[in-house]
Amino acid sequence: MTQTARGTGSDLGVGAGVPRPDGLLKVTGEFAYSSDLYLADMLWGATLRSPHPSAWIRAVDVGPALAMPGVHAVLTHEDVPGERFYGLEHKDQPVLAIDQVRYQGEPVAIVAADHPETARRAADAIVVTYEPREAVTDPRRALFDPGCPKVGPEGNLVRHQPVRVGTVPPTAEVVVTGEYEVGMQDQAFLGPESGLAVPAEDGGVELFVATQWLHVDQDQIAPCLGLPKDKVRLALAGVGGAFGAREDLSMQVHACMLALRTGRPVKFVYGREESFFGHVHRHPARMRYEHGATREGRLVYVKAEIVLDGGAYRSSSPAVVGNAASLGVGPYEVDNIHIDAYGAYTNNPPCGAMRGFGAVQACYAYESQMDRLAEACGLDPVEIRVRNAVSQGSRMATGQVIDSPAPLAGMLRELAAMPLPGSSCSPDLRALPGGVAQTTHGEGVRRGVGYGVGIKNICFSEGFDDYSTARVRVELLGDEPHILVHTAAAEVGQGLVTVQAQIARTELAELADLGAARVTVAPADTSVGSAGSSSASRQSYVTGGAVRAACVAVRERLAALRAEHPGLGPAELLRAHGPVEETREYRHRPTHPMDPLTGQGDSHVQLALCVHRAVVDVDVDLGLVKVVELAAVQDVGKILNPPALEGQIHGGSAQGLGLALMEEIQVRDGRVLNPSFTDYLIPTILDMPPMRLSILENPDPAAPYGLRGAGEPPTLSSTPAIAAAVRAASGLALPRVPIRPQDIALAPAAPAR
């Protein structure tokens, strides 16, 4: 996407509410998504997927498919030109299944045909002989039962990360325990996996694709194609949402294989149902927690066992486990910690990156525990959190010292002081649980208020070499100074294109202030260095940092030129000298691995806090919930673009609401039961309430502009806040999210706590 806008540095610079260039196009339906890609002579790809969660493949007969008119190629693992495995952190996932399938929906064969329906019919015509075998679907059994069949290459353990701090005394004055469960959430982006691979004259391939990180795709695709990286060129196509689901490959290698085989462009677009099998999901979690505290509610120790079901392949499970462990006690000061976080291989759908990434699951559990502790100590939920809150200078579970502002206690007090919404005696059904479906006129409805606090690491952790690259060029176009910003950073809807232009305007204000300077953000592709992933709330920080660094370098070059040619204005300088271009890589400060036995280490770059208060009305007879209001306080260090930021907080909160109340991929015996938006429910405008926001700007001196990544933290704390509010309204323990109507309506008469 290209953005060109006119204006001065100040009203379009950092901090301004610059409108996004894609906004109008998206709401009017004119935005070109990757699924809209089209070339006149292109073929359509289709994928044959395993119906079994676990089976041997005894034979594959592609003959019937190849015999169909209009079919140009049918490929299996035997046709993979290069390496047959790929993966984000570890190459364990076959491009196409070889001798076995490990999850329902695993790709087995691919087809290119001249019509999408022909391609699908041909895929259906391929005859695969499976020998189904026992599917491993219980992650605890996978991990702890030595007799359990092995799903992963070395067993069923993806990662075990302990955290050991102090000693865990067997008792404290007050002890609360709990077992919690988080269901499998889906990113539920609206734009399904899609892209177009075009064979190139040099024997390489060009891939236009909706992804989160072009270069990591390139790194994985090229070896599978047996091509050098420079022959696999990627350009970002319009992305219809991501939330982590585009971090792993889906159709990329398949499209390129078919394009190279047929010599024709090949396009893939997954259907909605296929999409549910085409990307990783959020890890379901089972967690046991024990919190010990003094009678005054000060934490003495935390013990936890966190089991994350990674499904059939590794994906980013190790990093998810790392987050769950390092953030497993939350933003609280605790002297004694004993955490064991595990990632398991099973034959369930593969799980990987999703907004909040391991921190979400732990947050739901530790916040539920803080509420139990508050009750046990006779304290208010806000007070117990304030008493244990971290602040600048506190030590995390990893021993890492929080070295930038972390004013959690103040955030909580501000949140608690916000006015509460009035009671809903409105005759408008839309204000009641159930909405216009008219399940109540007020009968059975009880109000509840709950709080949630979350802490999220920003950027990649644990020693990852995390950087971004920006190329900035200033030149005269039509006799006007013009700024071109080029990065490979994926705009996934978060507003990054806008922010890059804002940074350029601020840093090159001397040009922009001429009033005539234009800023263009070039489409993202692999002809510039890696920008890293649009994930971990990191792009404003890292790509923002790179754009700023490149702009500063350009500014310095211009200053030097000016010194050589005093008296020349920017336009004259550029005319005399020609374009000025600089490329910079930006790295945040280094991080370190967690100690494998103790979990200690400065593993994170930056930590971000968000706190939520939820007000809900619960129909306790039917178990239906209306979230009346969500209020949040978040410290973002520096606001770069107010509406874009608010959008992130609203959206993150909505996704957390979905996890609390409705979003779950239901899996039974390794099979997905609800792969559709008919039955995988995400919040509508009637479910997501208006929000009251307070956004703080306590700068992080280590970060560009003092900013703190903002996209994920609200996804953490909204879920436990809503769950707490539903508990307050119903008096029930509700140890599992999403909370289903029957969990409330059919709960045993005596409250479970």
Partner 1 sequence: MDFLRPATWAEALAAKAADPTAVPIQGGTDVMVEINFDVRRPPALLDLTAIGELGDWELTADGLLRVGAGVPYARIITELGDRLPGLAQASRTVGSPQIRNRGTVGGNLGAASPAGDAHPPLLACDAVIEAESAARGTRMIPATGFYLGVKRNALEPDELIRAVHLRPATGPQYFSKVGTRNAMVIAVCSFALALHPGERRLGAAVGSAAPTPLRARAAEEFAAREFDWSGATALDPALLARFGELAAEAASPIDDVRGTAAYRRHAIAVLARRTLTWAWNDYRGKAAA
Binding marks (x or -) toward partner 1, 314..353, rule CB under 8 A? ----------------------------------------
401 lies in the site for partner 1, by CB under 8 A: no
- With respect to partner 1, which residue has the nearer C-beta, 607 or 667? 667
> DSSP string covering 98-113, please?
-SEE-STT-EEEEEEE
Q: Helix 408-417 vs helix 381-388: angle between axes, to the nearest 10 degrees?
A: 160
CB of 140 to partner 1, least distance (A): 24
661 lies in the site for partner 1, by CB under 8 A: yes
Q: Which of 311, 292, 295 is nearest to 303 (CA)?
A: 292
Considering only 40, 417, 563, 746, the residue that binds partner 1 (CB under 8 A) is: 746
> What's the rounded Cα separation, in Å, for the pair 238 and 697?
32
Considering only 120, 338, 518, 584, the residue that binds partner 1 (CB under 8 A) is: 120
> What's the rounded Cα separation, in Å, for the pair 252 and 237?
12
Listed ranges 20-28, 483-491, 573-581, 735-743: which one lies at the site for partner 1 (CB under 8 A): 735-743
Listed ranges 437-445, 554-562, 564-572, 729-737: which one lies at the site for partner 1 (CB under 8 A): 437-445
Listed ranges 462-470, 473-481, 503-511, 620-628: which one lies at the site for partner 1 (CB under 8 A): 620-628
- Judge whether 380 and 341 are in contact, CB under 8 Å: no
Site for partner 1 in 265-304 (CB under 8 A): 271, 273
- With respect to partner 1, which residue has the nearer C-beta, 675 or 709? 675
Size of the site for partner 1 (CB under 8 A): 38
Q: How far is CA 345 from the centre of its chain?
A: 21
* Sequence-separated (6 or more) residues with CB below 8 Å from residue 685: none
CB of 684 to partner 1, least distance (A): 5
Considering only 115, 150, 295, 430, the residue that binds partner 1 (CB under 8 A) is: 430
CB of 26 to partner 1, least distance (A): 17
CB of 525 to partner 1, least distance (A): 33
- With respect to partner 1, which residue has the nearer C-beta, 64 or 271? 271
Separation in Å, CA 562 to CA 475, 507, 566, 576: 15, 17, 5, 11
Site for partner 1 in 231-250 (CB under 8 A): none
CB of 496 to partner 1, least distance (A): 30
740 lies in the site for partner 1, by CB under 8 A: yes
Site for partner 1 in 676-715 (CB under 8 A): 678-679, 681, 683-687
Q: What is the 3 state secondary structure string of 584-604? A: EEEECCCCCCCCCCCCCCCCC
Extract the tokens encoding 79: 């046709």
Considering only 153, 203, 438, 563, the residue that binds partner 1 (CB under 8 A) is: 438
Q: Can you tell me which residue has the tokens 């922010």? A: 499
- Judge whether 334 and 397 are in contact, CB under 8 Å: yes
Amino acid identity for residue 116 in this structure: P
28 lies in the site for partner 1, by CB under 8 A: no
User: By CB neighbour count within 10 A (0-12 exposed, 13-18 middle, 19+ buried), where does 154 fall?
Assistant: exposed
Binding marks (x or -) toward partner 1, 479..498, rule CB under 8 A? --------------------
Extract the tokens encoding 731: 């008096």
- With respect to partner 1, which residue has the nearer C-beta, 20 or 671? 671
- Judge whether 20 and 498 are in contact, CB under 8 Å: yes
3-class secondary structure, 53: coil
- With respect to partner 1, which residue has the nearer C-beta, 131 or 443? 443
Q: Which of 435, 397, 391 is nearest to 413 (CA)?
A: 391
* Sequence-separated (6 or more) residues with CB below 8 Å from residue 703: 404, 541, 545, 588, 606, 637
CB of 443 to partner 1, least distance (A): 6
Listed ranges 30-38, 247-255, 396-404, 674-682: which one lies at the site for partner 1 (CB under 8 A): 674-682
Q: Can you tell me which residue has the tokens 């010292």? A: 401
* Sequence-separated (6 or more) residues with CB below 8 Å from residue 426: 432
Considering only 626, 671, 708, 727, the residue that binds partner 1 (CB under 8 A) is: 626
510 lies in the site for partner 1, by CB under 8 A: no
Q: How many CB atoms lie within 10 A of CB 733?
A: 16
Residues binding partner 1 (CB under 8 A): 120, 271, 273, 430, 433-441, 443-444, 621-624, 626, 661-662, 666, 673-674, 678-679, 681, 683-687, 740-742, 745-746
